[in-house]
Amino acid sequence: MDTCKVPANASKCSMSTMECFMVLSTQAQKISIGILCGLFGTMCVFENTLVLYLIFSSPGIRKKPSYLFIGSLALADILASIIFVCSFVNFHVFNKAGFSKEVFLLQLGGVNTSFSASLSSLLLTALDRYISISRPSEYKLLMTRKRAWAALAVLWVTCATIACLPLLGWNCCVLDSVCSELFPFVDDNYQSGWVCFIMVLLGCIIYAYAHVLWRARQHVAYMEKHQAQVGKQNTRMRMDVMLAKTLVMVLAVLMLCWSPVLVLMIYSIFARLSDHLRKVFAFCSTLCLLNSMVNPIIYALRSKELFSSLRRVFSHFRRQLKVTEESPEAESNHKSSVIET
């Protein structure tokens, strides 16, 4: 039975208390976490790197603000998977705590920045779809590449600033305040504020998508009523409806993967967590990686432009492979003809 208690105030804010947060007590639990993190992390990096390559290798795709936001989401997921897996496995599986408070808070800030940027990128994508589907005639004037890049810059700076507040001094060691039960050195009020920030982002995304789905449904009804009319407007509507449905699928997966973590974080604010619940929280944290791994799969299956770009990449790769295989044979035939001559 675990006897290590989580520190309730900053007076116990020493390096030895980090062992209290290493909640995986059996080798089976550590192996399970290691396998999950290794599998999800590797697949996440590979898939999101492929998405970034497909977006920025295609001039037609990378010029569209919608795919700039999706590219930001993919980049955030890559960074989150790398930082999260390295720090999480190092801490919970190998039980290494021989680093300073500042290093730990820097790692935690990196994880929070990446996951916050991922969620914020999804919010920008939702707003982009809302503008595109509600004001299609003004979309190109309202959503330019310059404005898209400016929005992304504000997004990343804001997320990094909020995530680094514990490192800058908002932690229970400096403030002599109540510490979080889930994260070493983290102030309980900061955890509450970060959860509120995430809940506001989720609320804005849900609100935006409610309007997107409502307008998409209107567009579907319009297309069914005017099925004989074929033109750029109907084609644009079909693309908007398709992308809106795709991003709703992304949002559904996001809510499914993040809900357990957020519920436990909120619960820890109002009640003391048992050792069992803290172990559950450690396993639920890996669902965030699962979310980052599933997103690119949804893009490939639902986005016609990305899927077409993926097919072109595979076709080019097959041609290159075929040329490579045929080259030695052609060179051999050439040498044979020279010898015969």
Residue 19 belongs to a domain: no
Token pair for residue 204? Answer: 């804005």
Q: What pLDDT was estimated at residue 74?
A: 92
Given a cut of 50, whether residue 325 has pLDDT beyond it is yes
Per-residue pLDDT tens over the stretch 288-308:
888 888 888 877 667 778 878
Q: What pLDDT was estimated at residue 334?
A: 46
Residue 333 belongs to a domain: no
Residue 173 belongs to a domain: yes
Residue 199 belongs to a domain: yes
| Phi, psi of 75, rounded to the nearest 5 degrees | -65, -45
- Mean pLDDT score across all residues of the chain: 80
Given a cut of 90, whether residue 314 has pLDDT beyond it is no
What band does 227 get if pLDDT is binned at 50, 70 and 90?
low
When divided into structural domains, the chain yields a total of: 1
Q: What pLDDT was estimated at residue 3?
A: 42
Percent of the chain with pLDDT over 90: 24
How far apart CA 45 and CA 137 sit, in angstroms, is 37
Residue 13 belongs to a domain: no
Query: 171 forms bridges with which residues in the sheet?
Result: 186
Q: What pLDDT was estimated at residue 26?
A: 83
Listed residue (44, 45, 46, 48) closest to 70, CA to CA:
48
Residue 53 belongs to a domain: yes
Residue 179 belongs to a domain with what CATH number?
Answer: 1.20.1070.10
Global confidence as pTM: 0.82
Residue 113 belongs to a domain: yes
Q: To 5 degrees, how large is the angle CA 45–CA 49–CA 51?
A: 125
User: Does residue 153 or residue 321 have the better pLDDT?
Assistant: 153
How far apart CA 303 and CA 247 sit, in angstroms, is 10
Per-residue pLDDT tens over the stretch 166-198:
999 898 888 888 888 888 888 989 999 999 999
Residue 312 belongs to a domain: no
Residue range of the domain that includes 269: 25-226+236-307
